Structures are given as C-alpha cells and as structure tokens.
Amino acid sequence: MGCKTLFLQPILNFIAEKVVTLRLVDCAMSKGRDKDLVRLRDEALCRRYYELTEKQRLRFDDALKILSKHEFFISEERIMAVIRKKVGELENIALKAVPKVRMPRLTAKQLELFADDADDLGGETAEHTTP
C-alpha cells in the first residue's frame, strides 16, 4: 500500500493544482458572449443589410431572409432588433430602420361591414350564392 500511495501522491497533487487553476480561470472569465465580437457581428450585419437594400435594391423582407437563412444564421426578429438599435450609430452609411410589420386585427363584426360592399359591387359571398 505504501508504494501505491507514494506513486499516486504526486499525480493527485498535480491534478488538484490544475483543478484549482481551472476554477480560478473560469471565475476570471466573463460568462456569455464576447461583447466585442457581438458588436463586430452587429456592425457587419447592418452594413450587409444596407448593401442588400440600398445598393442591390432588394425588398427589406427578402434581405432579412437572406441575412437570416444564408449569412448570419440568426432569426429575422433578432436582425430587425439589431438594425433598429444601430440606426444612426454607424459611420459612412445612412441606415434606415426596418419597418415594423403589423397584421390587422379585424373582428368578425368588422368583416361583416365589407360583406355589404362586396354585394354592391356584384361580388358573391358564400351566404348569397344562388343554386
């Protein structure tokens, strides 16, 4: 037993030293993403968005799809948030904010108002068709 302990003790001390060192390194490093890398990514994303929309004249929704699915691999919502945040911050480009797209909220009662207009124009609805 004495020989095994003498042989293993230096190894155990070495491992214990490394574990303590690793824990200290982990505590010293900040958690999460590197802020400088995120800033550089956001700037590159905005410049690429500007290139697609202003120089290549793509529609903003097509540009968002390209940036999201083929170039930066982040969601379209996140890309829109980054662009809105960076408007006015970047030099050398006049970045325009991404328009907010909202779906209309119509109730059934509001839609009934349009059914009368369709009848006046000669349109047929499901309720007013003749056999």
pLDDT by position in tens, the chain (length 131): 555 556 667 776 777 676 655 555 555 566 788 899 999 999 999 889 989 998 999 998 999 999 999 999 999 999 999 998 888 777 677 777 766 667 677 788 887 887 766 666 665 555 555 55
Burial label for 46, CB within 10 Å (0-12, 13-18, 19+), is: buried
- pLDDT of amino acid 62: 94
Q: Which two tokens stand for residue 20?
A: 């303590």
Residue type, 56: Q
State the pLDDT at residue 44: 92
What's the pLDDT at 108?
A: 81
What Å distances lie between residue 17 and 13, 23, 27, 113, 114, CA to CA? 6, 10, 16, 78, 77
Reported pTM:
0.53
